[in-house]
Structure 1
């Protein structure tokens, strides 16, 4: 028997946690964990000592994740985090060398900003170029 959890772009981590809590036959291991503790459990990249930076938002890949009874909430989040890390690594390795971004994390932040600015996929490149031009001009 298989079940699934569907996470879509734009949902917050709070929404994702609620989806996990409501998922049938999923073993709950994270209920009493803080977001910072979950960040550590997911082995996400160290982005500094500031606790506000240890935020799971944006580090999870939206998709439908299948699971079987006795799977854990942490297992699903780890699968999602690993997919996001792979997608970020691929995008980072294929980026133009002149982009004014220092690392994967800055790229993720820019992608999140662009996503919030427009929900229309074919507008994202144009919106991203506006932000990149401002970064290049140190605005």
Structure 2
């Protein structure tokens, strides 16, 4: 059995800063959206993905992929959004087994209201405090991470 490739002190510092910062930022974004708009970060992400899709609808499998949720978790999240009148699910006309998630007009309006506050929080706690060259590096880094995860899985 080979020895693990341990992180050096700088790598460990940066890794922990990423983990701590991303967890705390996600918690802050979630708390802010729940307090102001009654939406979790997961619910908000689903509304965003549906708002950007043609006809404001996506197949559940595709939505799970884009929203980084398992199909089971997505189903529960969509049920909550349905109970709020923000999303509805319906069958696919050309695939009897397929299901679409549709963003309702009420859901689009709720997203519009939430997005106005959410973007300010994202700016206050991320965009505006990071040097533009560092922000570009973060973008490049996570493009590479997403690519690697996609290749692995």
Give TM-score, length-normalised by structure 1: 0.30
- Looking at secondary structure, tell me which structure has more helix per residue: 2
- Looking at secondary structure, tell me which structure has more strand per residue: 2
Give TM-score, length-normalised by structure 2: 0.28
Greater C-alpha radius of gyration: 2
